[in-house]
A = this chain, B = another copy of it.
Amino acid sequence: MKLTVYLAGQIHDDWRSEVKKLAEEHHLPIDFVGPMENHDRSDDIGEEILGQQPNPILKDEAASQINNLRTQVLMNKSDVIIALFGKTYKQWNTAMDASTAITLGKPLILIRPEELHHALKEISNKAQVVVQTPQQAIQALSYIFETA
């Protein structure tokens, strides 16, 4: 049995690489998918495909329609979603993806530093698992494959 896991959240550091490396170390049969991690490309993809837009809002709208296409296709293929919240960014799209997954019946593993708990309390309450590090998330995934 293979699982597909969507990695939602900030694309400003290399937490996804850490997750993938840990999964490899545990020999977990998991395909990881997620958003475009090249931040500039993610912001520019709308204009790249649709041409220059008249203003920043329309540039954003053009980009988000392509990014949301990617997210919808990959989340439909996924069995589990991991969402990581960091201290710096707004991350409203991460909260949106997390909630979409839950409503579609796919379990959410939430990774967040403890100090963000208050602001994340409603999402924490809906998540299936709440942890603080990518390593703990991998431990939870690993447990799915363990036999006694």
Please, which residues of chain B bring their CB within 8 A of the CB of A79?
73, 76-77
Alpha-carbon gap, A97 to B36, bound state (A): 25
B99→A69 contact, CB < 8 A: no
Please, which residues of chain B bring their CB within 8 A of the CB of A71?
122
A66→B140 contact, CB < 8 A: yes
Please encode chain A, from 21 to 64, with 1 for each CB lying within 8 Å of some chain B CB and 0 for all others.
00000000001010011100100010011100011111011011
Please, which residues of chain B bring their CB within 8 A of the CB of A70?
143-144
Alpha-carbon gap, A131 to B69, bound state (A): 13
**A-side interface residues toward B, CB under 8 Å?**
1, 3-4, 11, 31, 33, 36-38, 41, 45, 48-50, 54-58, 60-61, 63-74, 76-77, 79-80, 85, 89-93, 95-100, 102-107, 109, 114, 117-126, 128-131, 136, 139-140, 143-144, 146-148
List 4 extra interface pairs beyond A36-B146, A69-B80, A99-B99, CB under 8 A: A71-B122, A76-B79, A76-B106, A92-B122
* 25 pairs, A vs B, C-beta closer than 8 Å: A1-B33, A36-B148, A37-B147, A41-B146, A45-B143, A54-B55, A56-B118, A60-B117, A61-B124, A63-B121, A68-B126, A69-B143, A69-B144, A70-B143, A72-B107, A72-B128, A73-B79, A76-B105, A76-B106, A90-B90, A92-B119, A92-B123, A93-B123, A99-B100, A100-B102
